[in-house]
Amino acid sequence: MNPVILIGCFTPLVIIFIVLKLSVWVSAVNTESKYVGKEPFRKRGPFVADAYADVDEEEEEYGDRTDYR
């Protein structure tokens, strides 16, 4: 098979693949830039007073001094 014919057959597929990749990339960049633009105006909160507190401390079945035998 002649290499020119082979290149001619696969060139449209390569061009379509590159165009699709570029369009997806441009769409992702636009979406991300819109999100980043809205980020400074986003409402935040309410925040938890102590994020690392044990919320079910009273309800625990086993405590620090429990014998696990």
Count of beta carbons in the 10 Å neighbourhood of residue 57:
8
Q: Return the pLDDT at 57.
A: 66
- pTM higher than 0.85: no
Sign of the alpha-carbon torsion through 35, 39, 42, 48: positive
Report DSSP letters for 2-25, one per residue.
-HHHHHHHHHHHHHHHHHHHHHHH
Residues 39, 42, 45: CA angle, nearest 5 degrees:
125
Q: Return the pLDDT at 67.
A: 57
What confidence tens digit (pLDDT) does each residue in 11-53 have? 999 999 999 999 999 999 999 999 999 998 988 888 888 878 7
Say yes or no to pLDDT of 64 above 70.
no
Residue 2 binned pLDDT confidence (cut-offs 50, 70, 90): confident
